[in-house]
Each structure stands twice: as C-alpha cells, then as structure tokens.
Amino acid sequence: MGDALREHKGDYGIDGSFHTAGPRAQATFWAAVCAGLTATTAIAWAKGQRLAAVVAGLVNANLVATAVFYLHTTRVGKFHAWARVLDELALHGDETVLDLGCGRGAVLLAAAKRLPRGRAIGVDLWRADQSGNSPEQTLTNAALEEVADRVEVHTADITELPFDDGSVDVVVSSLVIHNLPDRAAREAAMREAARVLRPGGRLAIADLWATRQHAAQLREMGWTDVDRRNLGWRMWWGGPWLPTHVVTATKPARSS
C-alpha cells in the first residue's frame, strides 16, 4: 500500500453535488452558518441563556465535525480506502482495468500505477458531481502521475458501455452508480459491468447506497466470492451516518 499512499501529484478536486452551486459557494454558506451559530452561542451564554447556548454550540460542533470528516474523506481518506481495495485485487500488472465514472482519476490512476504492462480505462459523462470534472483534467492528472502511457478516457454512459463483451479484467467504480435515477438504471449499470468483464474477472464497486442491491444482483447472476463491507471512517461523508460500502465479486469462469 505504501506506493499508492505517496504524495499525489495530481489535483483530484472535491467530491459533491455542484449542479446548482459550486464548492466555493457551498463552503461560504457553510462557514456563514457556523459563524452565525458561534455568535448565537456566545450571545446566549452572555445573557445567561445556558440551554440555548449549549444547543447552539452542539449544533455548531456537529456541523464543524461534519465538514472536517467530509473534507478528509474527499482529499485524503478515499485514497487510503481505495489503496486497500486495489491491494486486495492483487493485480499482476498486465490487466485491463475499467473505472466506471472515473471523474478526475483518483481510482483510475491509482489502478494505473499498478499496471506497468496493462491498461486503465476510464469512462464518465463529466457532470458536476466533482469540482472541475473533465476528461482534460483527468489526462492532465495522468501525466502528472506519470501513467499517461497506460491511461485512456472515454465519454460514455455506464448503462451502455462502448466495449466488447469480456474485454476487461477488472471493473471498479467509486461513488457513481448511486447517481443513477432509479433501480432499473442501477441494475443496467451492473449488467454492463458484468458483460464487459471476462470470465473469471473481478469487480469492486464502492457506493453510498444500493450496495445490498448490487450484491444481491450479482448473487442472482451466479457470481462467486460476493462480499459487501463498510470501508470505515476514512470514507465517512460527514460522519458515520453516511458511510461507504464496497461490493466485491468474481465473475464465474463460465457465464451464461
């Protein structure tokens, strides 16, 4: 895991929903709310309104802790968590790895570093689910991480992948499938992941919700070694009430 955790040379932005307001605007609003609560706490305490001061202070502390956990996860924690997931895949270095919804390349390029003789392919629609999300930024990060020779990116819908059946060895995805609009779309994305994987290929999907659904779907398809687990505090999106789970599985050697 050590190599994967060395200082990152790329800029991987901030994860979040920025469709209506960018990260700076959201941070400004959050800071204003916390400043207001701090002032309310101080004023209430000065007036002898102890209960109001304690309530305001606790709410403020919770908001600050939420922000700290969130920023840690998006800037540091996810790299540690995914380093462990990729280590467990025990890549030989010559595989083709497909990242569904690669964004600016945090997982894609971590995989690429393990593929000196392989290929890392990323697909995305480049929407505002991450700050500064674009194929150009991903390729810039690939160059900064010195893996551009083994990385390619495509604009594609993960429910309709532009790849042949059985054309990749490993499929990974981080915090993407939950963005799809409904259960049918999520199931379609999982079927596409299964389709492009070669027999015996492996899958690792990390997400915020519907991971039990993913695991059940894979079991229904006859996949082996299906496992779902919590990735721990490093991928808490604000706190333990919003954890990340990863589903891992192996495609059967003979697929129907």
Give the domain CATH number at 118. 3.40.50.150
Pair of tokens at residue 201 = 């290929």
Look at residue 3 in the predicted model and tell me its pLDDT. 45
Q: Write down the H helix ranges in 47-129.
A: 50-72, 78-89, 106-112
pLDDT tens per residue across all 256 residues of the chain: 444 445 688 999 999 888 888 888 988 999 999 999 999 999 999 999 999 999 999 999 999 999 999 999 999 999 999 999 999 999 999 999 999 999 999 999 999 999 999 999 999 999 878 888 899 999 999 999 999 999 999 999 999 999 999 999 999 999 999 999 999 999 999 999 999 999 999 999 999 999 999 999 999 999 999 999 999 999 999 999 999 999 999 999 974 4
Residue 103: the pLDDT is 95
User: By 3-state DSSP, what share of the chain in percent is helix, strand and coil, each rounded to 5?
Assistant: 45, 20, 35
pLDDT the model gives residue 22: 87
Is residue 223 included in any domain, yes or no?
Answer: yes
HSE of 112, CA atoms in CB hemisphere, 13 A: 26
Handedness of CA 122, 125, 129, 133 (dihedral sign): positive
Q: Are the CB atoms for 129 and 17 separated by under 8 Å? A: yes
Residue 18 lies in a domain: no
For residue 220, give both structure tokens.
């229904």
Number of domains in the chain: 1
Residue 188 lies in domain: 92-250
Sign (positive or negative) of CA dihedral 165, 256, 182, 201 = negative
Has residue 234 been placed in a domain? yes
Task: Please give the pLDDT value at position 192.
Answer: 98
Predicted local confidence at residue 130, as pLDDT: 82
Question: How much is the pTM?
Answer: 0.92
Sign of CA dihedral 12, 16, 17, 20: negative
DSSP 137: H
Angle at alpha carbon of residue 182, lines to 166 and 163, rounded to 5°: 20
Q: How far apart are the first and last CA of the chain?
A: 36
Question: Does some domain include residue 131?
Answer: yes
CB-based burial of residue 19 (10 Å sphere; 0-12 exposed, 13-18 middle, 19+ buried)?
exposed
Report pLDDT for 5: 43
> Does a structural domain hold residue 69?
no
For residue 4, what pLDDT is reported?
43
The answer to whether residue 15 is domain-embedded is no
